[in-house]
Copies of this chain bind each other. A is one copy, B any other.
C-alpha cells in the first residue's frame, strides 16, 4: 500500500557511517521538499514559539527544516534540516525504548498505554488513577520512565547520550547546557507530577535526580537529519537498517508505534491520526517526527507552536508529505 510516490527513493551507498546516505534521484524528492517548505514560509506567524524558558523563546521563528530518511539507507532534506534544535519531548520516544529494553514488561505495571484525553501534563488524571500515568509520552509517564532510567543505570544521563549518538551514528550530538539550566529553573510543574507519583509509591529515585535526568534528555540538541536517522529502527521492526543491529524487539517497535499513534501529538493526537495517519511525536522545540512503518522516518522543524503545543508548520509538512506520498497507516 505504500508503493505510491516514493519511487524517488533510490539507494546510493556511502563508505562511511558518518556520511549521510544519499538518494540518487535526489532532485525529485528534494524539489518536492523545497516546494513544500516554500509553501509554508508565511505560516510561521500562525504559531507561537515556546516561551516558558528563555532558551527556547530566543530561537528564530523563521527556522524551518524537513528531512526524510528511508530504511534502505537514503536521506534527503531541505531548509535548516542539518541545524540542531532542542528535541524536548521527542526524547520521550528514546527514553521509552531504553526503559523497555532495561526492565521489560515490568514497565507496564507502572505506566499505562492509554490515550490521555487531557492536556499533556495534566495532574488530574494522575491523581484520579492513583499515580499511574496514562501513557509514557505524557509528561508524567516520561518522568516515570526517567525514574526507571535513573534507578537502573549508574549514569543514566551518559547512557542516554550514548544511545542517541549510536542511533544517529553521530558522536557530535550534545546536550545544550543553556536549555538544561533553563528547564531546571522552570521545572515546578514536572516536580509536582513527580512528587505526586512518589506520594503514590510509583517513583523509586529522589525527585531532583529524576528531574535532572528528564531535563537532560529534553535538552539534547539534534537536527532533523539526525533525528530521522536515529528513529529508522521503529520503521524497521526494531532493526537499525544502517548497522543491522537490533535496537529493540519487533514487538516493542510495534508497541512504540501504537503509543505514538494514539498519544504522540498531545491532545491533538486523534486529529493527527484522523487527518494524517502516522505514528508521530512532537516537542515544544518545534520538532515533529513521524514513523512510516516499512519505509522510513520524516522529521520536520519549525519553532512556532499551535495551541496544542505542536509545530504549526511541522505538522503541515508531515500532512502534505503523507498525503502526496500516500503514507497513512489507515488506508
* A binding-site residues for B, Cβ under 8 Å: 1-2, 112-118, 122-125, 127-128, 134-135, 188-189, 191-196, 198-199, 207, 237, 250, 253-255, 257-259, 261-263, 267-271, 273-275, 277, 279, 293-294, 328-331
Contact = CB atoms under 8 A, between A and B. Distances in A.
A279 B277 CA distance: 12
B114 A267 contact: yes
A47 B125 CA distance: 27
A201 to B, nearest CB: 9
Question: How many copies make up the complex?
Answer: 4
A10 B115 CA distance: 38
A88 to B, nearest CB: 17
A207 B191 CA distance: 10
A123 B123 contact: yes
Contacts of A127: 122-124
A189 B1 CA distance: 42
A322 B119 CA distance: 32
Given A117-B134, A123-B123, A195-B195, 12 more contacts: A113-B273, A113-B274, A115-B262, A116-B117, A117-B117, A123-B124, A123-B192, A124-B128, A188-B198, A192-B193, A237-B331, A262-B262
A24 to B, nearest CB: 24
A277 B257 CA distance: 9
A134 B258 CA distance: 20
Contacts of A115: 114-117, 262-263, 269-270
A255 B274 contact: yes
A268 to B, nearest CB: 8
A122 B114 CA distance: 16
A48 to B, nearest CB: 19
A90 B12 CA distance: 48
Contacts of A188: 195-196, 198-199, 207
A113 B271 contact: yes
B199 A195 contact: no
